[in-house]
Amino acid sequence: MSRTYRRRGARHEYRRVLRDSIFESDCLRHFLLDARSPEGRRAIARFHSDASYPKSGVPYWFRRILKRRQRMSDTRELLHWLDDPGYDAVMNARHRNSAQWAWW
């Protein structure tokens, strides 16, 4: 099923996409672009394209290292708990985007 078909009729909140900032006289000013202006249409098109910023990924070698560290840490916690049942094992819950947070 194509992405266009799945997202047909979807409504998007563009406030985050149209937000822009400018540095003037030692202060940072935020303002919203007009959605119908060329800059606003360009920002919306970039948001919908596959090249938009949030879709950039983390290198595979970094994800592999991070997963291995988490897996080994959980294994050590489990083995420590098996040796001493009174030990309170704290597992590191793996999240899908944990590598992304660590990379940036």
Same domain (yes/no): 7, 45? yes
Residue 91, Cβ neighbours under 10 Å: how many?
12
Q: How far apart are CA 54 and CA 100, in angstroms?
A: 10
Q: For the chain, what is the domain count?
A: 2
Same domain (yes/no): 51, 64? no
Same domain (yes/no): 7, 51? yes
**55, 76, 94 — which closes off a domain?**
55
Domain holding 78, by residue range, is 60-103
For residue range 8-56, list pLDDT tens digits in order: 777 778 888 888 888 888 888 888 889 899 999 988 888 877 665 555 5
Same domain (yes/no): 7, 49? yes
Residue 27, strand partner residues:
24
Same domain (yes/no): 50, 88? no
With pLDDT > 90 as the criterion, what percentage of the chain qualifies?
A: 17
Q: Which amino acid is at 1?
A: M
